Amino acid sequence: MDFLKAQKMFWLDDAIGRIRQAAAQGRLPHSLLLLSAPGLGVESLAQWTLAFALCDRKLERPCGVCASCLLLKADNHPDALIVRVEEEAKQIKVEQVRALIEALTLKSYRGGYKVGLIEGAELLNANGANAFLKTLEEPTQDTLLILTANPNHRLPATVSSRCLRLKLRAPALGEARAWLNEHVGADRDWDAALALAGGAPLLACDIDAAGLAAIDANMRAGIKQLSAGEVDVTLLAEQWVRSHLQLRILWLENWITTRVRISLGVAESAPNGTPVRLPDTRVRAKICQLYDLLDSARQFRRLSQTGMNQQLALETLLQAGLGALSV
């Protein structure tokens, strides 16, 4: 693993600084919950923290050159235990968690820390989350448990409240644009990709690679066809589920927000001096429909990685949103 990558992402500086400071004061926590929306490099930060705890040098760690860092770079460190959802699985299995906990209670192979990392902890089911409750309550000396999760995670409060929580935030637009210009390329429309990515630079990069312009055109055409009755919800849902589903839902959320703004703009265009008029009934109804659809889209995105039937859920969303989608 390339655990030094996190140090190149300036928006992680604050979190890195806090971890360094806690360690300098001898208060490195036993459990750390890193909360982040997608595309902010939380995986890199988790790996950095893991390397930080394991590095043989106490100054300038993780150094990247000591025996421990070299083992990690080769993904071969006996005291680094990483759990993530298995391919084709929809949840992290309780057996995976149990194996991790058991390994954490054993003595460190290299005489230092033992570190467990659970990537995507929102994919733990209740049994999985409860399995390491005892580990959180009675941590063993020199162990660190790192969890990464979406801020909308449904981890039990008994778990999250026992961790030191660090929440990552997207950088300001100008800084994100400058970073992408420097690290990826200056010839793209980063503002459009960043708007869709909620300001997350790595997600903006993925969106750009997926072909933003093509998806944008395809989504506009799809909505137009749907409201004209030229395509039915089942067929459109099938298309969306097949490619870049998450990105399409993000696009839809963005599109709805813009429509709401346009609808509100109708009301705000009253001449100066006259009291602000509320939008008329028709516009108000439209705005309500749009907000309902926005709620559904957000809910869909939250749940879309929890093993729900995406096709069926998307059909329901589109069917209920037909009124809002008509342009």
- Could you list the residues that contact Zn ion (CB under 5 A)? 55, 63, 66, 69
- Does 29 sit behind a cis peptide bond, omega within 30 degrees of 0 on the bond before it? no
Phi and psi dihedrals of 115, rounded to 5?
-125, 130
Count of C-beta atoms within a 10 Å radius of residue 180: 21
Which residues contact residue 321 at a Cβ distance below 8 angstroms, ignoring those fewer than 6 apart? 289, 292, 293, 296
CB of residue 56 to Zn ion, shortest distance in Å: 5
Closer to Zn ion by CB, 69 or 205: give it.
69
Check if the beta carbon of residue 33 is closer than 8 Å to that of residue 162.
Answer: no
CB of residue 57 to Zn ion, shortest distance in Å: 5
Closer to Zn ion by CB, 15 or 69: give it.
69
CB of residue 49 to Zn ion, shortest distance in Å: 13
Closer to Zn ion by CB, 55 or 247: give it.
55
Tokens of 50: 């893991």
Closer to Zn ion by CB, 63 or 231: give it.
63
Closer to Zn ion by CB, 56 or 292: give it.
56
DSSP 32: E
Is 137 exposed, middle or buried (CB count within 10 Å of its CB: 0-12, 13-18, 19+)? exposed
Closer to Zn ion by CB, 4 or 94: give it.
4
CB of residue 6 to Zn ion, shortest distance in Å: 14
**Residue 5: C-alpha distances to residues 53, 94, 149, 243, 298 (Å):** 16, 30, 19, 29, 30
Closer to Zn ion by CB, 52 or 240: give it.
52
Pseudo-torsion of CA 168, 3, 153, 37, nearest 10°? 40
Q: List the helix and strand counts (H, then E) for the chain.
A: 16, 5
Check if the beta carbon of residue 40 is closer than 8 Å to that of residue 149.
Answer: no
Q: What amino acid is encoded at 273 in this protein?
A: G
